[in-house]
Chains A and B, each alone.
Chain A
């Protein structure tokens, strides 16, 4: 290869796990370094905003953007990176569908601040200090980024070319993505790097007739490792989730939590899963259905664990259609 491709890796409202996952490619990271120059990677290299703004438009070949958009600073960085990158990749569940941070969309911003800065038992804040966008101190005025009313996915804020799913993406998925980018053998725009099948399609567990009589959480059951988890009353996101993760959770007898996002034919992961679960509830009358449904703690948080910001109710572009 004549010239190395230029990669930028950025993080927004995420945990940093995606960055670590890139390092988890182990010795392959050396191959990545061989094929690509990393021009920006805040978690691993020193850089300042000016360094990014000094880069020319379109001078970055690929930007791997992980994390959702919650603050004005993150939105600004997403836009700055978009204009400088030829290919923008939403890397990981948060950037693609909102991920865990987007569960905060179930609450108002004010509730979140009140809970985080005032109410929680572990908070010691006798002066009731709450972050403000502007604050006067003797030395002058200090500013902070705005905290938006909700969490946005990357593609609700900027144009996104590809999606790498996972929380975090597995080394295999990352490697597939990098290989595709380096070789120039790219799928159509908008593709998600992963299988076209759902997780259930390739799940090795034994499946028979499904009938749920009570919703259980994993700790409440002695899990039979050979049997479908749904049949044991545990809500598994396998029916609607994209395959490609290597069944990490399933192999550890934990239900799929849906981090690889909706499978190819599914638009709204949570609504589809809710429908699937309802169809295997073993009830025939309204009272029974209500009682059974009541044993399910937190349906929204379960079916939308990683995709709440992309739920149809929340899915629109920031700043109008």
Chain B
């Protein structure tokens, strides 16, 4: 893995709580890594799953969604929509081969500047550990070196003790 890898994390923060929380972290001069690219949305419920996939398509290494705590939503139940989507999105992403560390959804109020800084810090650390997000085809060249096969065949031989003739 590259040593100086700085992940790009897209953060969808709701206008009323989490964005204000981020603001508080800023005015309180809390230190946290600058890897988060914040997109202010009016409500975390506005963030469609397509936005998340689009972020990954455009080269993001992680996506953070943050809204008001349940019960605090400016639009009464906008964040309920978020909480319903989150488990489905998590399953979908893991099926699509996106590591679970790359997607996080939290609730951060306008008073929780410190929590915001911690969430970002933890997320950046985790993503630094797993490395950049790679698109499927780029993982290895489509050119068919039979290296991968070789490994597979080797594995099969070890398991089965069989002999292989291509």
Which A residues form the contact surface with B (CB < 8 A)?
105-106, 109-110, 113-114, 118, 126-130, 132-133, 135-136, 146-150, 267-268, 270-272, 274-275, 277-279, 281, 283-286, 289-290, 292-294, 296, 298-301, 303, 311-316, 318
Interface string of B127-149 (1 = CB under 8 A from A): 00000000111011011101011
Task: State whether the Cβ of B48 lies closer than 8 Å to any Cβ in chain A.
Answer: yes
Task: State whether the Cβ of B31 lies closer than 8 Å to any Cβ in chain A.
Answer: no
Closest to B146 in A: A132
Number of interface residues of B (CB under 8 A): 46
- Are the C-beta atoms of A313 and B96 separated by less than 8 Å? yes
- Are the C-beta atoms of B85 and A275 separated by less than 8 Å? yes
Q: How far is it, in angstroms, between the C-alpha of A66 and the C-alpha of B164 when the chains are bound?
A: 36
Task: State whether the Cβ of B157 lies closer than 8 Å to any Cβ in chain A.
Answer: yes
The stretch of B3-11, B35-43, B50-58, B117-125 that contacts the partner chain? B50-58
Closest to A314 in B: B136
Task: State whether the Cβ of B165 lies closer than 8 Å to any Cβ in chain A.
Answer: yes
- Are the C-beta atoms of A312 and B57 separated by less than 8 Å? yes
**The residue from A136, A146, A314 contacting B142, defined by CB atoms under 8 A apart:** A146
| 12 extra A-B contacts, CB within 8 A, seeds A316-B57, A318-B137 | A126-B162, A129-B164, A136-B166, A147-B144, A149-B137, A271-B53, A289-B83, A299-B95, A300-B91, A311-B53, A311-B96, A318-B142
Which B residues form the contact surface with A (CB < 8 A)?
48-50, 52-54, 56-57, 70, 80-81, 83-89, 91-92, 95-98, 135-137, 139-140, 142-144, 146, 148-149, 151-153, 156-157, 160, 162-166
18 contacts between A and B (CB under 8 A): A106-B95, A126-B162, A128-B156, A129-B165, A130-B152, A132-B146, A135-B166, A149-B136, A268-B53, A271-B53, A272-B50, A279-B84, A286-B83, A296-B88, A299-B91, A299-B92, A312-B53, A313-B96
- Are the C-beta atoms of A128 and B83 separated by less than 8 Å? no
- Are the C-beta atoms of A274 and B146 separated by less than 8 Å? no
If A113-B152, A271-B50 touch, whether A277 touches B88 (CB-CB below 8 Å) is: yes
**The residue from B56, B70, B81 contacting A312, defined by CB atoms under 8 A apart:** B56
- Are the C-beta atoms of B87 and A149 separated by less than 8 Å? no
Q: How far is it, in angstroms, between the C-alpha of A315 and the C-alpha of B137 when the chains are bound?
A: 11
| B8 to A: closest C-beta gap in Å | 16
Contacts of A148 in B (CB 8 A): 137, 142
